[in-house]
Amino acid sequence: MRARTVPLAAVLALAALPALAGCAGQGGLVSDGPAEAAVGPVRLWPELPPASDPPVDYGETDTERVPGITVRGADVRTVDPVAVVRAEAAAHPDTYTGADGLYEETSRAVLACDTAPAKCPVLSPYYRDLTGNGRDELIVGIRMPEQQVAVRVYLAEDGGLTRIMSTVDQVVSVELAGRDLIVRAASAGIPGYEYRTAWSWDERQHSMLPARDEIVPVRGGGASKSPPTPRTPRAAPDSPRTAAPDVPRTAPGSPRTVSPGSESAS
């Protein structure tokens, strides 16, 4: 008798059946039940007309050319950060509030940085390409009364220096994450929480904008103490300045947090 030939594929399929049967009872796919229906966003009060007036301008997009500062080879590392702050203070001698505001005692301390370096409020600079132009920008911190810190960023362009960011807050820390500058600040009215704002370069505005802002629990879950209320700076007899530097809050979001690297000047 002639032996019957069985196709090879059929033999392999039959051999695999016991293995598949064993897998069904050992870690096979198990249904978790029906999936929940997706719920999309629902617009509230759709009959409301669109806003006709813009919100209050906090000055986030204000940029300013620093007078009297020359940048050699578009390299911000050739610039003295103390000289930069002095130039801005001299250009706005009667300004206490806003992007240019400094306390009167802070302005005096900046002028005395050469003779009293230990009391100089200008912190060691950091350098990072925040604009994506392939060159570093200058990041300057200025200590002020009541644990406040002014954070300013400068861009080298056209042989000079342009300030592209300025903010003042009761700072917990300032961090770099990629091309974002993240400012963590104490919350005055919510113990155990802090504000966290990520400033990012915006090409259309040619400035750093507070792109993401949120209120988050303090790491570790501990309760934070509310910061002291800022003092009103002492105004000179011929100066109308009476208010502490502005500390505006900005748009909501969810920034990252990464500790800064070793970009500090040596």
Per-residue pLDDT of the chain (266 residues; tens, 9 = 90+): 444 554 545 444 445 445 445 454 566 777 778 888 878 889 999 999 988 877 666 566 678 899 999 999 999 999 999 999 999 988 877 766 667 778 889 999 999 999 999 999 999 999 999 999 999 999 999 999 988 999 999 999 999 999 999 999 999 999 999 999 999 999 878 889 999 999 999 999 999 999 999 999 987 654 444 444 444 333 332 333 333 344 333 333 333 333 334 344 43
Amino acid letter, 59: G
Determine the pLDDT at residue 223. Answer: 42
Residue 66: how many other CB atoms lie within 10 Å: 19
DSSP character at residue 116: -
Burial of 179 (0-12, 13-18, 19+ CB in 10 A): middle
CA of residue 187 relative to chain centroid, distance: 16
Interhelix angle 81-91/104-111, rounded to 10 degrees, is 130
Residue 193: how many other CB atoms lie within 10 Å: 16
Q: What angle do CA 54, 55, 61 make, to 5 degrees?
A: 90
Largest alpha-carbon pair distance within the chain? 124
Closest CA to 208 of 97, 99, 87, 121: 99
Residue 51, C-beta contacts closer than 8 angstroms, at least 6 positions apart: none
DSSP character at residue 168: E
User: What is the pTM assigned to this prediction?
Assistant: 0.67
Q: What angle do CA 170, 87, 241 make, to 5 degrees?
A: 55
E strand or H helix at 84, and its extent?
helix 81-91
**Structure-derived torsion over alpha carbons of residues 196, 202, 207, 211, reported in degrees to the nearest 10:** -20
Q: For residue 150, give both structure tokens.
A: 């002014």
- For the chain, first and last CA: distance in Å? 95
In sequence order, what E strands does 122-231 have? 126-128, 137-144, 148-157, 160-177, 180-186, 193-202, 207-217
- The backbone torsions φ and ψ at residue 153, rounded to the nearest 5 degrees and listed phi first, read -125, 140
Determine the pLDDT at residue 170. Answer: 93
